[in-house]
Structure 1
Amino acid sequence: MTESVKTISVKELARKVFNHEDVFIIDARNTDDFDDWKIEGENVQIINEPYFELLEGVDSILDKLPKDKDIYVICAKGGSSEFVAQQISEAGFTDVYSIEGGMKAWSEHLEPVKIGDLKNGGAIYQFVRIGKGCLSYLVDSNGKGAMIDTNRMLEPYESFIKEKNITLTHILDTHLHADHISGGRQLAEKTGATYYLPPKDAEEVTFNYEHIHDGDEYQVGDTTIKAVYSPGHTIGSTSFVVDDQYLLTGDILFIDSIGRPDLAGKAEDWVGDLRNTLYKRYKELADDLTVLPAHYMTIKEMNDDGSIGEKLGVLYKENHGLNITDESEFRRTVTENLPPQPNSYQEIRETNMGKISPDDEKQREMEIGPNRCAVR
């Protein structure tokens, strides 16, 4: 790579997306990969021009390139994008950047966003994994902290916790995840915090953990986290009410969709549990709770500040999955509108059970692609 090729980190690019800046991207991966999963944003313009079609030059795409904007080029891992960016630069475009680490790095970036304050001091933070749609949470109450639905990339959490001078006491997973590898147990081992998991999801796990039961309360600093059993995505799925303000729904309820019940092959068995959770159990909760899910599907669900969340009462009015009065229609909707299974989902489940221990590179490969935890 020559000096004329500039680079940009995924962290810098993510800030531009979160800030709703105009971003023009050339994705140099093959079309199938691009169609499956790409960078999205409110003001993101992205075109797919496979690398292998540009080996002889970029003349064929010059009329598609803006002359008054920065141009960002991405590929799978960051190598092909350097080549393409170099060619575009040599064609006379001055502000061309290769995105460091490609979609692999984009998939792993975590962006912390403050959701709100807690009643007795402290705050709750959402870590947005913008390239994967995963959402994890940190409850910070007067120097004590709890992590919920931790991703496997621990460094961003550790840096943030150190910066805020927080001592982690509790690490909880809402369920046994099937679309991403949980970092909860590893973070607990590193920090001395206690790791919690719903036992109905954990019958095959190979490690020790503390059980989560309906109604359990966890004191984190001066804040209370209450467990609400909410099966349907998995048989053990459990939500958490934090500070009587926030409802962490895991993969049961999203902003624009509802959870899928089939990732353990139990769609027909669990769809009734899903309906009961959404139409009865959650109905008993306060409408002004802010729903904070473990995933989001599209950038349209993102608020202006980059967060993902909405009042429960609003979702009961606007989320189609909460407004299907006929039970048989609900069952059909849920079982007939399932997206493809997440990539390597069975291996991910086995990793989260402790049955297999893939190396870091294998874990990255297992997680590549969009999240697919919701009914379409």
Structure 2
Amino acid sequence: MTQQLRASSAAEVYERMLGREPLFILDVRNEDAYADWRIEGTSITSLNVPYFDLLDGVDSVLGKLPEDVPILVVCAKEGSSKFVAEQLVEAGVRNVAYLAGGMQAWSEYLHPVKIGDLDGGGTIYQFVRVGKGCLSYAIVSDGEAAIVDPARMIDVYLQFAKEQGVSIRYAIDTHLHADHISGGRRLADAVGATYLLPPKDATEAAFVFTALEEGNTMTVGRSVMEIIPVYSPGHTIGSTSLIVDQKYLLTGDILFVASIGRPDLAGKAGDWAPDLRNTLYQTYRQLSPDLWVLPAHYSAAAELDDEGRVCARLGELYRVNPGLRIEDEAAFRKAVTENLPPQPNAYQDIRLTNMGKLEPSDAQASEMEIGPNRCAIHG
């Protein structure tokens, strides 16, 4: 019987990754694209053989493929991987699929997961953009929701709100993002919500917004569930964290589970390094160590827990996060300004887009965002 070629969705690949089920990936993109960014996980093995090396046949890779592990062929946008997968099937290779939509679909897939309940009633959810390491949040209480650091794929949040039976009251960006295009303004416009952005990050913004500032409190739902902004500069000059229900600390790109934010994406590393140190070593240290840290990004699949969440207690991070254990001020400055990972792809155009100064098409926006986030000082 001739086996049928199967398309595997980004969601299916993520579920396999989360369940630590073995998967072998044949990535047929160019070597530089593969080296820059690829699908990774504790149960995933991958091999890079460029598509052009397989145009005349797949015989050269047959001996390198496992016989007892599912094989997923991956390319940028699906076409090349489907062609190669078809050749593998014709060659008698079993259990072969290709990634539907390619790495573009992987980059844009968001997976919602429940973080926990709120004391006054309500729930907080995390949206894991697994292909890019971006994290956004929905804070839900009594028929209302606030969406924090939303991705540009706003249909995910609209569908979530519909399923939950809630109206979106706020769309909030903790800072001006440089690694991905914010969906905050579009989401707010789509549902008539209030869009909030730190004013110090928006001095050049070409749109109207509501200031996200320390001293102001947002209330979501009739249970008076409060969101308290805490000014926490360093990644950007306006970076503002959010304390939710005195239980959760949304840190934006200031503090991650395995690293800390970088201060150089606006060309102000030297100026902003002291702000970053002050936020991490003074402002955050005055907060309760029992707060659950919920960052806006992560860098590796190892940061996901068994339920697919990225979170940790603040006190625990002060014990294990290397970026919080550099007591010498000069050593800290060197760590956050020298030998940093490459900057995010197209980050200058992304910043201009988030200021409202560029209006890329959907195709252009997708291309601008391709690649990892690279917002941490450690890759």
Q: Which residue of 2 aligns with 1:341?
A: 343
Mapping of 1:1-376 within 5 angstroms? 4-221=4-221, 222=223, 223-376=225-378
- 5+ residue gaps in structure 2? none
1:128 is paired with a residue whose SS is strand
C-alpha distance in structure 2 between counterparts of 1:142 and 1:42, whole Å: 39
> After superposition, what is the alpha-carbon deviation per residue over 1:48-84, rounded to whole angstroms, capped at 9, x for unaligned?
1111111111111111112122211110000000111
2:63 is paired with a residue whose SS is helix
Q: Which residue identity is paired with 1:180?
A: H
How well do the aligned residues superpose, as a CA RMSD in angstroms?
A: 1.1
1:233–1:274: 8 Å Cα contact kept in structure 2? yes
> After superposition, what is the alpha-carbon deviation per residue over 1:157-200, rounded to whole angstroms, capped at 9, x for unaligned?
11111111111111110000011000000000001110000000
C-alpha distance in structure 2 between counterparts of 1:100 and 1:297, whole Å: 24
How many residues were matched structurally?
375
C-alpha distance in structure 2 between counterparts of 1:340 and 1:252, whole Å: 18
C-alpha distance in structure 2 between counterparts of 1:269 and 1:88, whole Å: 54
Determine what percentage of the aligned residue pairs are the same residue: 58
- 5+ residue gaps in structure 1? none
TM-score, normalised on structure 2? 0.97
Tell me whether 82-91 or 214-223 shows the greater mean CA deviation.
Answer: 214-223
1:225–1:241: 8 Å Cα contact kept in structure 2? yes
1:4–1:86: 8 Å Cα contact kept in structure 2? no
1:258–1:321: 8 Å Cα contact kept in structure 2? yes
Tell me whether 64-73 or 284-293 shows the greater mean CA deviation.
Answer: 64-73
1:271–1:331: 8 Å Cα contact kept in structure 2? yes
2:258–2:321: 8 Å Cα contact kept in structure 1? yes
C-alpha distance in structure 2 between counterparts of 1:128 and 1:142, whole Å: 24
C-alpha distance in structure 1 between counterparts of 2:214 and 2:339, whole Å: 30
Tell me whether 119-128 or 63-72 shows the greater mean CA deviation.
Answer: 63-72
C-alpha distance in structure 2 between counterparts of 1:3 and 1:52, whole Å: 25
Q: Which residue identity is paired with 1:319?
A: N
2:22–2:70: 8 Å Cα contact kept in structure 1? no
- TM-aligned CA deviation for residue 3 of structure 1: 8.5
